[in-house]
A and B are shown apart, each in its own frame.
Chain A
Amino acid sequence: MAAPSAPPSVVGPLPAFDLETPRRRRRPSGWHLFLLPLALVMLTPLVWMVITAVSTTQESRQFPPKLPTSIQWSNFSNVWTGSPFGHWLLNTAIVSVIVVISNLVLCSTAGYAFARLRFRGSGLAFILLLATLMVPFQVVLIPTLLIVKSFGLIDRLGALIVPNLVTAFGVFLMRQFFLALPPDLEEAGRIDGASRLGVFRKILLPLMGPPLATLAILTFLSIWNDFLWPLVAIQSPQNMTMQLGLSTFQGAHLTDWPLLMAATLMSQLPVIVLFLAGQRMFVRSIASSGIK
């Protein structure tokens, strides 16, 4: 194993590349030739959405799509004033934040247990957990609804929160990340007399910055974009979440595309902001969790 003076610690993005050219970082990297086209391909829908969002309804009803002659910023304000957009935002935010915090706690503890603790029934429990991922939601939609109803949560935000407090996906993800940590870290901690919980909290968790950030973003995203479950669990307009709200812009035969795109863009902003913040967390946790 590595020399005792340097326990594996997360110290930042790979410097190996820069090791070879430490003083020549001024030269633009050749990787741009690959990354830039890739980024453009990935960004195409965003560009199309922005173009549609600033077009008039009439302009959006053309095909092939054309650039708008003038920019209709009013579409964005119309979404705010013409619909309870702020309300949908608030509802979805409440649900997402609670679910994300809960998942961070429960998935990391369970993931650690499945990865590092040996106890009877852990294998079976893990397989059963995974099994819940293997049936499409449409099949269990109605029984889940009945269970939620028995708790009296129908048409409350609680219906969207409680079933999602922990997800098998998150447990699985955390388990894999914990498996990637060297086991010796814990050994040393245990020898010191720390309890499992102590080792978990003080040694391992600080190293899990990037995985936890990833879990937070992906969980947030899945709640933010969920449509089917809120559709059947929520009835009153004041409890509608974002995707349900967006569906009010989409008629059976008639869709106001500019409004829908403006609304969709605004609805995706929080997720992107969260992602950017998550990126920062990577760097900060790396920098601060240095060699102890």
Chain B
Amino acid sequence: MASKSRPVVAVALGLLTTLCLSACSSGGSGGGSSKAGGVVHITLSHGYTDVEAKEITREVATWNAANPKIQVKLLFNGGNDGALQKTLANMAAGSSPDIAYEYGSSMAALAGRPQVDDLTDKVNAASFNWNDFYSFERDAATSSGKVYGVPALVDNLALVYNKKLFDAAGVAYPTATWSWDDFRSAAKKLTDSAHKQYGWAYVADGSEDTTWRWLAMLWQAGGDLLSSDGTKAAFDSTAGLKATQLLHDMAVTDKSVYLDQGNGNYLNLFNSGKIAMLWTGPWDLSSINPDVSYGTQFLPAAEGTHSSIAGPDNWMLFNNGAAREQAAWTFLTWLVSTQTHGQFTLATGDLPTRESETKLPSYAQYLKKYPGDAVFVDNLKNVTKSRPNTKTYPQVSQAIGSQVQGVLIGHTSPQDALKAAAQQADSALASGS
């Protein structure tokens, strides 16, 4: 027995050592570098997958070939949902990339940090043409009057509907002047409980996904989220009650709303012809199966404003020394330029981030390739308000989201929900820094 174990132990130790040596020697650079030879290496961290990932890889390869002095390396951040956590960890460990894709909602957490670059002067340079970006995008990139990001992506919520289901139920397609009443009665007519068909789907997981759709409704009813100085909740108002009441009426009374758990199942059901209408963004269009004939339209209005809401995301720059910062800015300017981003939208179906992109000769081609996007681009003018870029917004969002969820499942009355949400929001705003 003893003699049997010795060779085994020896082999194991040998294997261990070999593997250790190979593991310790395979390492990455962790970031970019700037060498005296004149070539600056910068890193760009992103969460793109699928078509978007292919396109950005192609664009970076094009840049690298044409710009031997500035070489860009792409890093995948594990998925944008975890991007902020990874960024925080990177910042704590002192190993941030040069450019990172961040959700707009992360701006509040990152703005003003020593590791994050203040881009105000850079974007205001005449050649950059900052005003070419839509106004709400510029708002989303700004915090306390300073600019910390450059728009990477813009989207908005619009109405997407299944034409075949409308035809079958004999309901006229949604128009650009639909009211809430039109919307509600259509959803009711399109609901067939025997066949488990729903008129509308709402993401009811209590997260920002729940909140931001409700916010669009609040704005459609003419309400506001916070007081003008941002210190108190202003959504516990007539407008807020109207919005919440509509949700109650549709989900609890009419039972015409499918409550999605946050796992994107509503899209699968839409594809299977079980849901007639969605309030969603352009990102879902490419997941709609070719055998589903769909249309897009503005969101309905309560008081005449077909307000929508947008979720712009930003490229943010991190401080890794002057040489890398300069190189990163040069690259980024090219990446977000009209020409380059126009190419990106043509390949991916993302919306244009700059108004000048709609004047490109390739724009007609873009609209032809992505017919669903036309309404979304027009809808950008319906985005008049933005979510506040403050550190306390996540708590306000959570307060609203969980109360709206309660209303949707019939657990809370609209009045109680608003009161509770306003209370929680006020205390969060008061204790916030």
Contact = CB atoms under 8 A, between A and B. Distances in A.
Nearest to A91: B26
A116 interface: no
B151 to A, nearest CB: 17
Contacts of A251: 47-50, 52, 79
B86 A231 contact: yes
A158 interface: yes
B286 A248 contact: no
Interface in A56-112: 58, 61-64, 91, 94-95, 97-98, 101-102
A94 B28 contact: no
B337 interface: no
A232 interface: yes
Given A155-B30, A239-B28, A145 B23 contact: no
Interface stretch (B91-99, B176-184, B300-308): B91-99
Contacts of A94: 19, 22-23
A157 interface: yes
A236 interface: yes
Contacts of B53: 248
Given A232-B85, A292-B1, A253 B19 contact: no
Interface string A247-264: 111111111100000000
B79 A102 contact: no
A196 interface: no
Interface of A: 58, 61-64, 91, 94-95, 97-98, 101-102, 141-142, 145-146, 149, 154-158, 161, 201-202, 205-206, 227, 231-232, 234-240, 244, 247-256, 289, 292
Interface stretch (B58-66, B264-272, B353-361): B264-272
A236 B75 contact: yes
Interface of B: 1-2, 5, 12, 15-16, 19-20, 22-24, 26-31, 43, 45, 47-50, 52-53, 74-76, 78-82, 85-86, 88-90, 92-95, 97, 264-265, 267-269, 271-272, 274, 281, 283-284, 286-287, 289-291
A275 to B, nearest CB: 20
A252 B19 contact: no
Contact of A254 (B78, B95, B286, B289): B286
B23 A156 contact: yes
Given A145-B93, A248-B76, A158 B23 contact: yes
B283 A253 contact: yes
Contacts of B20: 98, 161
Nearest to A259: B50
A277 to B, nearest CB: 15
B93 A248 contact: no
Given A62-B271, A249-B49, A239 B86 contact: no
Contacts of B22: 94
A202 B22 CA distance: 32
B1 A58 contact: no
A62 B268 contact: yes
A209 B74 CA distance: 46
A141 B43 CA distance: 24
B271 A239 contact: no
A149 B92 CA distance: 10
B47 A239 contact: no
B76 A156 contact: no
A101 B271 contact: no
B30 A235 contact: yes
Contacts of B28: 155-156, 234-236, 238-239
B75 A235 contact: yes
B49 A145 contact: no
B23 A98 contact: yes
A232 B30 CA distance: 11
- Listed from nearest, the 8 A-B pairs whose CB atoms lie closest are A236-B28, A63-B268, A156-B27, A232-B89, A251-B49, A253-B283, A155-B30, A157-B23
A237 B23 contact: no
A63 B20 CA distance: 47
Contacts of A58: 271, 289-291
10 contacts: A61-B287, A95-B23, A146-B93, A156-B28, A157-B23, A157-B27, A232-B85, A232-B90, A235-B97, A252-B283
Contacts of B85: 231-232
Nearest to A230: B78
Given A155-B27, A161-B20, A239-B26, 10 more contacts: A61-B287, A97-B19, A145-B92, A156-B23, A206-B1, A227-B78, A231-B86, A232-B89, A235-B31, A250-B49
B89 A141 contact: yes
Contact of A250 (B27, B79, B89): B79
Contacts of A161: 20, 23
Nearest to A150: B93
Nearest to B23: A157
B414 to A, nearest CB: 29
Given A58-B289, A62-B272, A156-B24, A236 B86 contact: no
B24 A235 contact: no
Nearest to A58: B289
Contacts of A231: 78, 82, 85-86
A129 to B, nearest CB: 23
B19 to A, nearest CB: 5
